[in-house]
A and B are shown apart, each in its own frame.
Chain A
Amino acid sequence: MGDEDLIRACAAGDVRALEQLHVRHARAAYAFALRITGVAADAEDAVAEAFYELWRQAGRFDCRSRARTWLLGIVRHKALDALRRRQPAQPLDDPSGDDPPADLPDPNPGPYEQLLAQQQTRMLLDCLERLPVAQREALHLALVEALRLRDIAQIQGVPENTVATRIHHAKRKLRDCVAATLGLKNPGVPSDSMA
């Protein structure tokens, strides 16, 4: 049974269909929620809330997007709510993060070979956590979920150009952060602030 059929079954009150959706998507939803909140308990709660919301709203799914995209959008809302409760004063986006990227070649085209050789998962996760939330979300959805630009734009509720810009900044910041962690020389022109 496809995801869309399972959602229709949920709308008809079939709990087993919801459980099937949970088996298929909960883990990915949790990884995404954890990327946003940074706290395991908040991520678990956000995903539980999202599936409960899916159950309540299943009748409103219009199949214009994939079920996973729809679910991740709900997860995002719940995770951001949890993040705002925990960090009410923290801005969720880098104010400069939505500026269109300058149409210039990357002044620091490397050191990708060294990153490939030395990058550890823990330092990658630590650097990812330092990105502004919106950039972190966009990069996760592009890199880990392998979603297309239009799907990410739908989840984040912004134009595709904004998503492209967020990912552009996120990649550069991530690369520079990992390079700095590894103590690699010649970082080149400093990238955007990590704040």
Chain B
Amino acid sequence: MSSTTPPDPDDPLRPASPQEAAWLARSKAQLQQAPLTFDVAAHWQSIAARLPASPAAAATSTSPLPQRPHRLRLLSSRWSAWLGGWALGAACAAGVIAAVGLHPPGTAPASVQPLSAASAVRSDQVLLQVVFADNARIGEIRALLAPLSVQVVAGPGSLGVWRIAVPAAQARAAQRALAASALVESVNPVR
């Protein structure tokens, strides 16, 4: 005797027979168990990188320099400016002499440190070359890179080029996230 259960009018599948219902159930199980190559964590990073920088991160890097006290501005009279200029010139000359003496041409002075420490890229990392927009602020760049698990390998260079290393498994997502940001002019893998 056939089932007397009335069909559910809101059931979109509406199987016409128990056999069809069984086949649909089997098909559903197969589709739900089909492997999905989807890294949820890496995908989230690509989304998080596009969200606006937090107010805290923006404040620490964009705070204006403190104004000089008014009384110090009174010292910028003509004669004190001339005297200050002479003193500045003497100081620069002394600095050049010291630099050349301590560090002959061709050697990098030890006191000059790049913004980022150059380090080797591991085999499980991909190296990306990034050029940020001229108006990108350090705090914004920091907030953009923070969720991407990047290691700043070099930069910024004289042309504003950065080199960053990202985990190989997340390289594609990181590159997409950076390319989608208004702060980035270009991002390319380094071969």
Verify if A190 is at the interface (C-beta below 8 Å from B): no
Verify if B114 is at the interface (C-beta below 8 Å from A): no
CA gap between A103 and B38 in the complex, in Å: 42
Majority-rule SS of B interface residues: helix
Majority-rule SS of A interface residues: helix
* A residues in contact with B26, CB < 8 Å: 115-116, 119
Which of chain A's residues has its CB closest to B173's CB?
A: A44
Residues from 6 to 44 in B contacting A, C-beta threshold 8 Å = 10-14, 16-17, 19-20, 22-24, 26-28, 30-34, 36-38, 40, 43-44
Report the count of interface residues on B (CB-CB < 8 A).
34
Which of chain A's residues has its CB closest to B13's CB?
A: A142
* A residues in contact with B13, CB < 8 Å: 142-143, 167, 171
CA gap between A26 and B40 in the complex, in Å: 7
**Contact A109 B17, beta carbon cutoff 8 Å:** yes
Chain A interface residue count: which class?
A: 35 or more
**Contact A19 B44, beta carbon cutoff 8 Å:** yes
Which of chain A's residues has its CB closest to B46's CB?
A: A48
CA gap between A143 and B26 in the complex, in Å: 10
Q: Mark A122-166, 1 if CB is under 8 A from B, else 0.
A: 001100100000000010111110011110100000000001100
Can you name 11 extra interface pairs (CB under 8 A) apart from A48-B43, A116-B26, A125-B34? A19-B48, A22-B43, A47-B43, A48-B176, A55-B51, A121-B31, A124-B30, A125-B31, A138-B12, A140-B31, A142-B12
The 3 closest A-B pairs by CB, nearest first: A112-B19, A142-B12, A121-B30
